[in-house]
């Protein structure tokens, strides 16, 4: 067997998490396709095992190469910060935890495919979710010549088959007891689905959560000041932070207050409605702070347009379009709006809520002299007369026409005693 068949490009690169599914997939893919498997694992802040341990398991399960990357900074800076600038919340609530990690993982999968001579990329997703679409559309968007295969979706790798296969092949897998949930987590948050949560009337139990404590029994309130520069957090309580540190610190502090728990029925890209739990304490608190700073620093019309753009950005990124021309163009708009989104936000974190209590910024458009009702008012109230006359003119003309035709807006008759 030639060890170095880079020129032949006949290997498979597998997105390897270290769990049962993808561990079995290494040997299973090799057996079913005859191709050597290269395992690729990323640290995107999911915690748990060290990359070394994951790498060793991949090799023990038969991978010819195991490529591991600490991608936490890259994920925080280039993925989470884009989501923050876009205030990204799919269907108004879900901060795109899994949706933003798939494109980054895909980029590294393609890089590994080129480095180790693979023509096919594989992942452990089922055929029912969004993640398969995100991996494969992202991969195609970077290198359209690569093929994709999913052992679970395409080679009918079920849990029973997995356990039998692992035993027969003496794979070094210990964790055969099934977690009741399907979990995906990274530094931006955590997604929890399946199991008894599939009955949407079942309330979440304590064991669903790990990034957040119960908001019903919070510690004393926690006041935090977050400083942003051009839409990115740069300091917390006066201490300089990197984007990764900002997210981690807010995960800890907002998590302790039970902030960022989400329980929804969500519309998947593949047409299924699914019950999803999320916990994203840092993301939810940072987005709330960022949104308030935008309230201060964005011009009204720019801000109105941005709210629409933000919504489309979240939908497109949810829908596997991270590397698409559409998202590329929206990014340019969003980036441009962040020029003056600099300043400080003070928030109180307590009992499940992150409430803004103060804001200040050199580039704020809030003008005390225009807003005040005290002396020092520089707003010319008299000018409102002319403004209303002209602004209301179309309605006034139309109302006169409606009255002429007997279609005026009915008002209650005067009550007569």
Instruction: List interacting residues with ligand ARG (CB under 6 A).
Output: 98-99, 130-131, 182-184, 191, 193, 266, 276
How many CB atoms sit inside 10 A of residue 114's CB?
15
Q: How far is the CB of 26 from ligand ARG (least distance, A)?
A: 19
Nearer to ligand ARG, 136 or 184 (CB): 184
Nearer to ligand ARG, 91 or 344 (CB): 91
Residues 6 or more apart from 270 whose CB is under 8 A from it? Answer: 128, 129, 130, 133
The answer to whether residue 122 is catalytic is no
Nearer to ligand ARG, 65 or 131 (CB): 131
Q: How far is the CB of 341 from ligand ARG (least distance, A)?
A: 26
Question: Contact, 359 vs 343, CB < 8 A?
Answer: yes
SS (H, E, C) 213-244: CCCCCCCCCEEEEEEEECCEEEEECCEECCHH
Rounded CA gap, 217 and 400, in Å?
Answer: 60
Q: How far is the CB of 185 from ligand ARG (least distance, A)?
A: 9
Active-site residue (options: 102, 190, 253, 261): 102
Rounded CA gap, 192 and 375, in Å?
Answer: 55
Rounded CA gap, 133 and 124, in Å?
Answer: 12
Question: Which tokens hold the place of 42?
Answer: 């990323």
Active-site residue (options: 60, 119, 153, 182): 182
Q: Is 19 left (phi over 0), alpha (psi -120 to 50) or beta?
A: beta
Nearer to ligand ARG, 179 or 339 (CB): 179
Nearer to ligand ARG, 127 or 172 (CB): 127
Query: Which 3 state secondary structure label does DSSP give 351?
Result: coil
Give the residue from 166, 198, 164 showing the smallest Cα distance to 181: 198
Rounded CA gap, 114 and 37, in Å?
Answer: 14
Q: How far is the CB of 380 from ligand ARG (least distance, A)?
A: 51
Q: How far is the CB of 194 from ligand ARG (least distance, A)?
A: 8
Question: Contact, 185 vs 191, CB < 8 A?
Answer: yes
Active-site residue (options: 36, 43, 131, 184): 131
The answer to whether residue 106 is catalytic is no
Q: How far is the CB of 19 from ligand ARG (least distance, A)?
A: 10
Nearer to ligand ARG, 130 or 321 (CB): 130
The answer to whether residue 274 is catalytic is no
Question: Which tokens hold the place of 184?
Answer: 């995906």
Give the residue from 9, 23, 254 showing the smallest Cα distance to 117: 9
The answer to whether residue 50 is catalytic is no
Question: Which tokens hold the place of 95?
Answer: 């901060």
Rounded CA gap, 247 and 234, in Å?
Answer: 11
Q: How far is the CB of 223 from ligand ARG (least distance, A)?
A: 32
Question: Contact, 29 vs 37, CB < 8 A?
Answer: yes
Residue whose pair of structure tokens reads 């191709």 in the numeric block? 35
Nearer to ligand ARG, 198 or 299 (CB): 198
* Gyration radius of the chain over CA positions: 27
Active-site residue (options: 21, 43, 310, 319): 21
Enzyme catalytic residues: 21, 102, 131, 182
């Amino acid at each position: 067997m030639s060890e170095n068949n880079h020129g032949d490009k006949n290997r498979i690169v597998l997105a390897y998490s270290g769990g049962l599914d993808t561990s079995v997939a290494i040997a299973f893919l090799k057996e079913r396709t005859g191709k050597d498997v290269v395992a690729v694992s990323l640290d995107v802040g999911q915690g748990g095992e060290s990359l070394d341990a994951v790498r060793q398991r991949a090799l023990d399960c038969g991978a010819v190469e195991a490529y591991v990357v600490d991608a936490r900074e890259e994920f925080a800076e280039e993925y989470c910060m884009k989501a923050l600038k876009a205030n990204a919340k799919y269907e108004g609530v879900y901060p795109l935890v899994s949706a933003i990690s798939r494109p980054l993982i895909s980029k590294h999968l393609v890089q590994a495919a080129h480095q180790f001579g693979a023509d096919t990329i594989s992942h452990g997703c089922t055929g029912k979710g969004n993640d398969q679409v995100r991996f494969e559309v992202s991969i195609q968007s970077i290198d359209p010549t690569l093929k994709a295969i999913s052992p679970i979706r395409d080679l009918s790798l079920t849990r029973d088959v997995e356990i039998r296969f692992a035993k027969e092949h003496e794979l070094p897998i210990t964790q055969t007891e099934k977690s009741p949930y399907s979990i995906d987590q990274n530094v931006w948050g955590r997604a929890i689905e399946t199991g008894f949560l599939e009955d949407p009337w079942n309330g979440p139990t304590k064991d669903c959560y790990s990034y957040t404590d119960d908001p019903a029994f919070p510690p004393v309130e926690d006041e935090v000041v977050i400083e942003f520069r051009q839409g990115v957090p740069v300091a917390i309580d006066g201490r300089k932070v990197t984007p990764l540190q900002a997210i981690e610190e807010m995960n800890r502090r907002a998590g302790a207050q039970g902030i960022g728990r989400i329980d929804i029925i969500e519309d998947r890209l593949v047409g299924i409605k699914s019950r999803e739990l999320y916990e994203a304490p840092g993301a939810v608190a940072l987005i709330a702070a960022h949104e308030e700073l935008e309230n201060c620093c964005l011009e009204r019309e720019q801000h109105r347009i941005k709210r629409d753009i933000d919504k489309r950005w979240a939908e497109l990124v949810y829908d596997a379009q991270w590397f698409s021309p559409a998202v590329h163009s929206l990014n340019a708009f969003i980036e441009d709006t962040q020029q003056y989104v600099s300043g400080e936000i003070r928030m109180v974190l307590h009992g499940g809520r992150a409430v803004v209590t103060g804001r200040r910024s050199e580039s704020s458009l809030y003008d005390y002299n225009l807003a005040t009702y005290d002396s020092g008012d520089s707003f010319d109230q008299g000018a409102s007369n002319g403004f209303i006359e002209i602004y209301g003119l179309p309605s006034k003309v139309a109302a006169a026409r409606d009255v002429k035709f007997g279609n005026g807006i009915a008002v209650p008759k005067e009550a007569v005693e």
